[in-house]
Amino acid sequence: MDAKKIFDQMTPYKPGKQTDDVKKEYGLETIVKLASNENPFGYSDKVANAIPTLATHVEIYPDGYATELREALAGKLNVKKDQLVFGCGSDEVVDIICRTYLDTGMNTIVAKPTFPQYKHNALIQGAEVKEIPLHDGYHDLEGMLQAIDDNTKIVWLCTPNNPTGCLIDEAALTAFMKKCPSDVLVVVDEAYYEYVTSENMPDAIQALKQYSNLIVLRTFSKAYGLAGLRIGYGITSEKIANLLNITRGPFNTTRVAQGAAKIALEDEDFLNSSLEKNTKNKQQFLQFLDELGLDYYDSETNFVFVKLPVSGDALFEHLLSKGYIIRSGEALGHPNGVRITIGKKADMDAIQDHIRSFLAPVI
Ligand code: PMP
């Protein structure tokens, strides 16, 4: 049997260059990956110590309700336990939302460029995807509102946005929610929430009390450093969470992931030290970009999108040859730029030297 027609136009997710490939290709000993906005400072020692114990009795299915993590997270966020839905990464929560709400004849609205899985999963459901270009890295919220029609089911707001790092501030989100019809679901993806330092960060969880058409997404993959364990979550009304929990697989997060996430939540020292180092190293990197006269988008995340006078691929290839994997804007739907995850100080110092010498002939 043939797959859906839409698959003719789609390709499987192709991750950026992997460390081992680059080692072989360039004969390098050490590779530093600053391409996927992972935490360069690793993860909590308390998680590391607990993993051997969490990884026993693997013959038994995990707790499909993620009871302990659910209780801990509900307490921390001050929401009801049944307002939460866990996924194998927030990637899976995106998929669950699309499978629950989208079908042929419906449409969904995304920014361009933004996190690609919204579009990917919507297309698989047969929905039309309306892409509204960003304004200098920020969502064009007015344009997104205007694109809403009778068949619109979901609007995706990625804030801060990947790949630009720009935040939708409180006033903008409130104005958007007020104008958005209540039968259109608004998904606010806050994968980089913990990194935000702006005082104008909206309290999207608080907004759930006011808007019954809102889902907030968060993840343990970024600031908590658990990307390899695959666990993220959605927070919404009990009514919507119930539907999403019907759609999701019964044992979609592992015991190791649930246990590690619970411990990671408790280890505020690790989280805060990662955030502090990120802020400091990012400031230093932005100062370097300013000195070089390179433009970039405002970033409230652990990455910076740098605009370049050359193609993103050219700088990407150059840094690759020096042992640094970053993300070319070409691959992210934004040519003439690169997205660089903020790394450790020594790596940022080295990367700056390489960028300076590579761009010297053109700036
Ligand atoms: N949302 C955004 C904006 C992201 O950048 C990512 C990861 N790159 C995700 C969701 C998915 O994260 P995960 O599945 O690891 O939770």
- Domain ranges in the chain are 5-43+269-359, 45-267
Rounded to an integer, what distance in angstroms lies between the CA atom of residue 187 and that of residue 235?
10
Kindly report, residue by residue over 245-288, the tens digit of the pLDDT.
Answer: 999 999 999 999 999 999 999 999 999 999 999 999 999 999 99
pTM of the predicted protein model = 0.97
Q: Choose which residue among 164, 221, 231, 235 to substitute to test ligand 1 binding: the one with the highest number of ligand atoms within 8 A of its C-beta.
A: 221
3-state SS, 167-220, equals CCCHHHHHHHHHHCCCCCEEEEECCCHHHCCCCCCCCHHHHCCCCCCEEEEEEC
> Which residue lies with its CA nearest to atom 6 of ligand 1?
191
Q: Helices 312-321 and 345-359 meet at what angle, rounded to 10?
A: 120
Q: Please answer whether residues 87 and 254 qualify as being in contact, where contact means their C-beta atoms are separated by less than 8 angstroms.
A: no
Two structure tokens written together for 154: 């979901």
Rounded to an integer, what distance in angstroms lies between the CA atom of residue 293 and that of residue 342?
19
Kindly report, residue by residue over 302-361, the tens digit of the pLDDT.
Answer: 999 999 999 999 999 999 999 999 999 988 878 899 999 999 999 999 999 999 999 999
Q: Among positive and negative, which fits the CA dihedral 251, 255, 260, 265?
A: positive
Query: If you average pLDDT over every residue of the chain, what do you get?
Result: 96
Decide if domain 45-267 falls under CATH 3.40.640.10: yes
Expressed in angstroms and rounded, the spacing between residue 191 Cα and the centre of ligand 1 is 6
pLDDT tops 80 at residue 1: no
The tally of CA atoms less than 13 A away on the side-chain side of residue 27 is 0
Expressed in angstroms and rounded, the spacing between residue 67 Cα and the centre of ligand 1 is 23
Expressed in angstroms and rounded, the spacing between residue 300 Cα and the centre of ligand 1 is 15
Kindly report, residue by residue over 176-217, the tens digit of the pLDDT.
Answer: 999 999 999 999 999 999 999 999 999 999 999 999 999 999
Q: Per-residue confidence at 21, pLDDT binned at 50, 70, 90? A: confident
Predicted pLDDT at 15: 76
Rounded to an integer, what distance in angstroms lies between the CA atom of residue 117 and that of residue 61?
28
Superfamily of domain 5-43+269-359 in the CATH hierarchy:
Aspartate Aminotransferase, domain 1 (3.90.1150.10)
Please tell me if the CB atom of residue 86 comes closer than 6 angstroms to any atom of ligand 1: no
The residue whose two tokens read 């307490």 is 75
Please tell me if the CB atom of residue 275 comes closer than 6 angstroms to any atom of ligand 1: no
